Amino acid sequence: MSRMNKNIVCIGAGYIGGPTMAVVAKMNPDRKVVVVDINAERIKAWNSKGYDLPIYEPGLVDVVKEVRGRNLFFSTDIRKAVKECDIVFVGVNTPTKMFGRGAGRASDLQYWEATAREIKEWATGDKIVVEKSTLPVRTAAAMDAILNDHAKYGFTVLSNPEFLAEGTAIKDLLEPDRVLIGGPSTKAGAAAVAEIVSIYRGKGGRWVPAEKVLTTNVWSAELTKLAANAMLAQRVSSVNALAGLCEATGADIDEVARVIGADRRIGPKFLKAGPGFGGSCFKKDVLNLVYLCESFGLHTAAEYWSQVIKMNDHQQERIVSRLFKEMFNTLANKKIAVFGFAFKADTGDTRETPAGTVVRLLDEEHVRISITDPKAIPNAKKDLADLQGIEYQTDPYKAAKGADAVLLMTDWKDYPGLDWAKIFKSMRKPALVFDTRNCLDAAALRKLGFKVLNIGK
Ligand code: UDX
Ligand code: ADP
């Protein structure tokens, strides 16, 4: 087989594996890419005739339409796929461990280790194994130990962390700021890194420009992923910490952030105050960093990063406290319409969504809750299955009918353009809007008769 067309398999057809491999296949039409998963329902959805894919990402369907059946395949036959490939990307889930040592902080590596053992069992030749899931630093060493101990074949383990953000995954994949590949400094390591670099360069060098493909040692690559997410999460917590102070003093967080961000050393992105960060990565990665720092006796550093999470939790508690105060210190039996349940706009993903935390706190106060979201209702229903009496509406007007308050949690782009006069008419008075994303026209809402709350003003 020529060096240019080594086959690829990706284990794990989730938010990372699916979109990443779709774009890898698009930009490498001369390579066969197979995505496998133990979850048959997920694979069925990836293969569905009507392209009813298991995850929602703008632009994803078009890429899958272009490449599925051409050089991208989805399958549950992990054994066959591993046998026939030269390169294995591992994109299985690594949730925060909820038991035993490191509970609540460390990553649960059981899926990942099971995968390493499967690869070893089913391999029929040498392979490059690429970590794609977010993993604690030095996981590659463990993977290397499992794979290469008494092995018939040679396995070279690389780290290639994914930096895509949900909602913009396809754009991030097509035009990444950088691609990071960490590998060992052995001859086999260098050859494996070159192979993965050639995938990201794409056929004929048409994908990622050479200067954006960065190579490091394995540990640096693993730590960079945690560090990049921790720095981003830290910016969100910093701006949210300032938001509370703005509310207390009469400053406006959007004005403050605009001016801070005009400093080129700081830059304007990731300075939007809101309900706190959610998503599968930020909390998990910061907790991982905390655990790593603790493990190496760096207690002050561990405490520093812990504060990023504490500040985030506090932001959601603050939202409920402010509602409580504004709604005359009693929420029992009042109806609150939650606009948006996804952790951010343009995704149906609800993992670690601030809306989930807030809904649970409201439920404790016996609030009648209706939830509306254009994409996340199925996930919301699963997440909140243990709560009684929650109403789910795809239509925001129905969700708001008879409500005392609208609590906007996700900045879906349709929300500012809704007929707010119609919503006002249908609500109980006094009618409150709490816009935790500062995305609505507060002055216009006030003119209509709403009482309006914002974050950081
Ligand atoms: C993040 C990283 O951006 C990405 O590089 C990594 O690979 C995975 O984790 P993601 O979680 O998909 O991506 O979304 P992101 O856009 O980073 O937003 C994370 C959370 O922070 C969201 O809940 C978002 O609403 C919040 N956020 C973001 C803010 O509250 N304010 C901001 O200014 C930016
Ligand atoms: P991420 O956001 O990291 O992509 P997801 O939870 O969306 O995480 O996807 C991870 C996928 O990995 C899931 O679809 C899960 O079924 C799959 N998976 C977990 N363990 C294995 C395994 N041993 N073999 C194959 N697939 C696995």
pLDDT in tens, 250-296: 999 999 999 999 999 999 999 999 999 999 999 999 999 999 999 99
13-32: pLDDT as tens digits: 999 999 999 999 999 999 99
Does a structural domain hold residue 87?
yes
Does a structural domain hold residue 402?
yes
**CA 407 / ligand 2 centre spacing (Å):** 33
- Mean predicted lDDT score pLDDT of the chain: 95
Q: Are residues 208 and 265 in the same domain?
A: no
Q: Where are the beta strands (DSSP E) in 334-445?
A: 335-339, 368-372, 391-393, 405-408, 432-435
Does a structural domain hold residue 352?
yes
Ligand nearest to the CA of 232: 1
Ligand 2 atom with least separation from CA of 281: 2
Is the pLDDT confidence value at 4 over 70?
Answer: no
Share of the chain residues as helix, strand and coil, in percent rounded to the nearest 5? 45, 15, 40
Residue whose CA lies nearest to ligand 1 atom number 18: 277
Q: Are residues 279 and 362 in the same domain?
A: yes
**Backbone phi, psi, residue 203, to 5°:** -60, 125
**Backbone phi, psi, residue 336, to 5°:** -120, 125
Q: Are residues 211 and 257 in the same domain?
A: no
Sequence letter at residue 8: I
Q: What is the largest CA-CA distance in the chain?
A: 74
**CA 331 / ligand 2 centre spacing (Å):** 40
Q: Are residues 203 and 255 in the same domain?
A: no
**Backbone phi, psi, residue 134, to 5°:** -75, 125
Q: Looking at per-residue confidence, does 249 or 111 come out higher? A: 249
For a mutational test of ligand 2's pocket, the pick from 35, 42, 53, 93, i.e. the residue with the most ligand atoms closer than 8 A to its C-beta, is 93
**What is the predicted pLDDT for the residue at 3?**
44
Ligand nearest to the CA of 352: 1
**Given pLDDT bands bounded at 50, 70 and 90, which one contains residue 136?**
confident
Q: Are residues 198 and 338 in the same domain?
A: no
Q: What's the number of domains the chain is made of? A: 2
Residue whose CA lies nearest to ligand 1 atom number 17: 165
Among the three residues 198, 216, 234, which one is the final residue of a domain in this structure?
Answer: 216
Q: Are residues 126 and 69 in the same domain?
A: yes
DSSP string, 97-144: P-SSTTTTTSB--HHHHHHHHHHHHH--S-EEEEE-S---TTHHHHHH
Q: What is the mean pLDDT of residues 351-364?
A: 98
By DSSP bridging, strand 335-339 and strand 405-408 are parallel
Q: What is the mean pLDDT of residues 153-166?
A: 94
Who's near 138: CB < 8 A, 6+ residues apart? 219, 222
Does a structural domain hold residue 231?
no
Q: Is 296 exposed, middle or buried (0-12, 13-18, 19+ CB in 10 A)?
A: exposed
Q: Are residues 277 and 181 in the same domain?
A: no
**CA 38 / ligand 2 centre spacing (Å):** 8
Structure tokens at 34: 């197979």
For a mutational test of ligand 1's pocket, the pick from 94, 225, 238, 344, i.e. the residue with the most ligand atoms closer than 8 A to its C-beta, is 344
Q: Are residues 313 and 379 in the same domain?
A: yes
Residue from 10, 85, 246, 281 carrying the catalytic annotation = 281
Does a structural domain hold residue 81?
yes
Q: Looking at per-residue confidence, does 136 or 369 come out higher? A: 369
Q: In which residue are the tokens 């405490």 written?
A: 303
Among the three residues 169, 194, 216, which one is the final residue of a domain in this structure?
Answer: 216
Residue whose CA lies nearest to ligand 2 atom number 16: 39
Does a structural domain hold residue 341?
yes
Q: Are residues 411 and 453 in the same domain?
A: yes
Q: Are residues 280 and 151 in the same domain?
A: no
**Backbone phi, psi, residue 31, to 5°:** -115, 145
Does a structural domain hold residue 164?
yes
**Given pLDDT bands bounded at 50, 70 and 90, which one contains residue 141?**
confident
Structure tokens at 125: 């030749």
Sequence letter at residue 128: I
Determine whether the shortest distance from the Cβ of 225 to ligand 1 is under 6 A: no
Dihedral angle at the C-alpha atoms of 320, 321, 326, 331, nearest 10 degrees? 60
Q: In which residue are the tokens 């216009």 written?
A: 444
Q: What is the mean pLDDT of residues 393-415?
A: 98
**Given pLDDT bands bounded at 50, 70 and 90, which one contains residue 6?**
confident
Query: Which residues' Cβ are closer than 6 Å to ligand 2?
Result: 11-17, 37-39, 42, 78, 91-93, 111, 114-115, 133, 280
59-85: pLDDT as tens digits: 999 999 999 999 999 999 999 999 999
Q: Are residues 197 and 312 in the same domain?
A: no
Ligand 2 atom with least separation from CA of 94: 3
* Cα 230 from Cα 286, distance rounded (Å): 5
**CA 415 / ligand 1 centre spacing (Å):** 20
> Are the CB atoms for 196 and 130 separated by under 8 Å?
yes
Residue whose CA lies nearest to ligand 2 atom number 11: 12
Does a structural domain hold residue 225?
no
Is the pLDDT confidence value at 2 over 60?
Answer: no
Domain residues for the domain of 79 are: 8-216
Q: Are residues 157 and 255 in the same domain?
A: no
Has 293 been annotated as catalytic? no
CATH number of domain containing 307: 3.40.50.720
91-126: pLDDT as tens digits: 998 877 788 888 887 778 888 888 999 999 999 999
Is the pLDDT confidence value at 236 over 90?
Answer: yes
**What is the predicted pLDDT for the residue at 1?**
40
* Cα 399 from Cα 406, distance rounded (Å): 9
- Structural Rg of the chain based on CA atoms: 24
**Given pLDDT bands bounded at 50, 70 and 90, which one contains residue 5?**
low
Among the three residues 216, 234, 269, which one is the final residue of a domain in this structure?
Answer: 216
What CA–CA distances, in Å, run from 36 to 28, 82, 91, 108?
18, 9, 10, 21
Q: Could you give the 3-state DSSP secondary structure of residue 43?
A: helix
Q: Could you give the 3-state DSSP secondary structure of residue 68?
A: strand
